[in-house]
Amino acid sequence: LIEIKRQGYQHWALCVGDGYVIHVTAAGKAAGKTPHTSGSRRAWVKKEPLKEVVENDEWYVFNKYDWYHVPFPVEEIVRRAEHWIDKGVPYRLLLRNCEHFVTTLRYGDAISFQVSAP
């Protein structure tokens, strides 16, 4: 999991190798523009170079849920992620955001402390 520190929130992506990530983004927007900043209720899954998604923001590899969720094998995670490329998915900031998307791919569970933390 890649955590990208945006101003006021974190964007999440899934590293799939060779400098690429898979993530949800607003339809018709530039790389890394999240649906919640566009007001959209739909997101598109894209495979893009990490450098384009990150832009000038700080980012980290952060598999923060591994301590209590067992991730799928890497090949399975990538296969699951690639299935969604160029497909639209429902997007709700509090229920189906970018972190929910990547944690579902990695663990099979949609997790986002970003929206469930007090």
How many domains does the structure of the chain reveal?
A: 1
Is residue 74 included in any domain, yes or no? yes
Task: In whole angstroms, give the CA distance from residue 56 to residue 89.
Answer: 27
**Can you give the pTM of this predicted structure?**
0.85
User: Hey, which residues are catalytic here?
Assistant: 11, 98
Q: Residue 115 domain-assigned?
A: no
Is residue 118 in a domain? no
Do the domain assignments include residue 18?
yes
Per-residue pLDDT of the chain (118 residues; tens, 9 = 90+): 999 999 988 999 999 999 999 999 986 554 445 555 445 678 999 999 999 999 999 999 999 999 999 999 999 999 999 999 999 998 987 778 999 999 999 999 999 887 655 4
Q: Give domain status of residue 116, yes or no.
A: no
* CATH (domain of 48): 3.90.1720.10
- For 53, the domain range is 2-27+40-107
